[in-house]
Structure 1
Amino acid sequence: MSKLLMNLRHVPEDESDDVRGLLDAHRIEYYETRPSRWGISSGGIWISDDADLAEAKRLMAEYQARRQSQARAEYEAARRDGTAETFWTILRNEPARVLLTGVAILLLLGLVALPVILLSR
């Protein structure tokens, strides 16, 4: 019976391509389901043979560890160079987005607090 190796929701295309290449390189049979048209299911990469599942999970763990260390190194390099995105750079570059997000947060907090305020009277 097939087992899900990787859910493709919010997965960048380069990461899913890397995983496909990794499985192909190790001759692990898999198939892929595509996301549904309306976003109900996100698609995934499935391992066809249960015997290959342990090896596929081991390879995925190694790949994810490498990807994580690479991403952290890139972020640290960007921080040292001063090119890493911070709240202040976002505020400077997109003030309307930050303002609208703040207003939305305040409205949602007000909605959450409204029952408490109404019940306390």
Structure 2
Amino acid sequence: MGALLFKLNHVPEDEAEEVRRLFEEHDFPIYETHAGFWGLGVSALWLSDPEQLPEAKALLEDYQRERQARQRALKAEREAAGEQPTFLQRALQAPVRFIAMLLAIGVILALTILPFVGLIGTV
């Protein structure tokens, strides 16, 4: 039976492809499962030989450290170039959606707090 190596839930496609290629280049026998139509399964990469798990995990950790450094550098580059939108810029790009989200947050907070406010006078 295989060993779970890397879950693919909420992983960008470019990262998933890099991980697949990484294990192929290092000759780790992997196979992939998908969550299926209803999303009840596990979308992941599995290692066919569980005895190789420590080496594969070490390789994956190295890759993730490198990717994290690359992505942080890319974000810093975009921020320096003014290409990374700020919170205010995102809000101004879609003002109706931003206001609707604020109203939804207000309604949820009010519905959550109002029952307790009603208890203040009864105690």
2:86 is matched with: 86
Report the aligned-residue RMSD: 1.3
Percent identity between the two aligned chains: 37
2:55 is matched with: 55
Deviation at 1:67, TM superposition (A): 0.7
2:119 is matched with: 119
Unaligned stretches of 5+ residues in structure 1: none
Unaligned stretches of 5+ residues in structure 2: none
Q: Is 1:41 aligned with 2:41?
A: yes
Q: Aligned partner of 1:33: which letter?
A: T
2:7 is matched with: 7
Structure 1 residue runs of 4 or more that deviate by more than 2 Å after TM superposition:
39-42, 118-121
Bigger Rg, which one:
2
Deviation at 1:120, TM superposition (A): 2.2
Closer, same or farther: CA 78–21 of 1 in aligned 2, 3 Å: same
Question: Could you state the TM-score of these two structures normalised by the residue count of structure 1?
Answer: 0.92
Q: Aligned partner of 2:45: which letter?
A: I
Question: What are the Cα deviations for residues 30-69 of structure 1, in whole angstroms up to 9, with x where unaligned?
Answer: 1111122122334111111111111110111011111100
